[in-house]
Structure 1
Amino acid sequence: MDTCACALELLGMLVYVGAWLCDLTTTILPQWLTMSTALLPVESYELGLWETCVVQDVGGMECRAYDSLLGLSTDLKLARILMCISLAVGMLGLLVAIPGLYLVNSCGEHGGYRTKRTLTITGGVLGIISGVLCLIPVSYMAHLAVIHFFDDKVPDVVPRWEFGDALFCGWAGGFLFIVAGLLLITSGLCSQVEPQPVLQRRYQVMSADASFRKRTEYV
Structure 2
Amino acid sequence: MSSMFQEIIAFVLATSGWILESSTVSMTDWKVSSDDGSVITSSSFFANLWKHCVTDSTGITNCKDFPSMLALDGYIQACRGLMITAIFLGFFGSVFALVGMKCTKIGGSEKNKARIACFAGIEFILSGVCSLSACSLYAHRITTQFFDPMFMSQKYELGAALFIGWAGGILCILGGSVFCFSVADSFSRSHSKANYIYRQTASHSHITAYTRGQAKPVNERPAADNSSSSRMQHFDKNVYV
TM-score, normalised relative to structure 1: 0.82
Pick aligned residue for 1:25 from 23, 27, 35: 23
Measured at CA, do residues 207 and 61 of structure 1 come closer, stay the same or move farther in structure 2, by a change above 3 Å?
same
Equivalent pairs, count: 205
Distance change >3 Å, CA 212–CA 54, structure 1 → 2: same
| 165, 183, 191: which one aligns with 2:186 | 191
Percent identical: 25
Aligned to 1:182: 177
Q: Are 2:150 and 1:153 aligned?
A: yes
Q: CA RMSD for the aligned pairs?
A: 2.7
Q: Higher relative CO (CA 8 A, sep ≥ 6), structure 1 or 2?
A: 1
| Structure 2 counterpart of 1:47 | 47
Give the match for residue 80 of structure 2: 80
**Which of the two has higher C-alpha Rg?**
2
Match of 2:6 among 5, 8, 14: 8
**CA deviation after TM superposition for structure 1 residue 68, in Å:** 2.0
In 2, the alpha carbon distance for the partners of 1:145 and 1:217 equals: 83
Supply the AA of the counterpart residue of 1:35. Answer: S
Separation of aligned partners in 2, 1:133 and 1:113:
30
* Distance 1:194-1:105 versus aligned 2 partners, 3 A rule: farther
Q: TM (normalized to structure 2)?
A: 0.75
Q: How far apart are residue 137 of structure 1 and its match? A: 1.4
CA distance in 2, matches of 1:147, 1:62: 27
Counterpart Cα distance in 2 of 1:206 and 1:5: 27
Match of residue 117 from structure 1: 114
After TM superposition, what 4+ stretches of structure 1 lie above 4 angstroms from structure 2? Answer: 56-59, 205-214
Match of 1:198 in 2: none
How far does residue 36 in structure 1 lie from its aligned partner after superposition?
4.2
For 1:132 and 1:140, how far apart are their aligned partners in 2? 12
Amino acid at match of 1:93: G
**How far is 1:107 from its partner?**
3.9
The whole-number CA distance in structure 2 between the counterparts of 1:57 and 1:6 is 55
Distance 1:105 1:88 in 2: 25
- Matched letter for residue 136 of structure 2: S
Consecutive unaligned residues in structure 2, runs of 5 or more: 192-196, 215-241
Q: Who is 1:70 aligned against?
A: 70
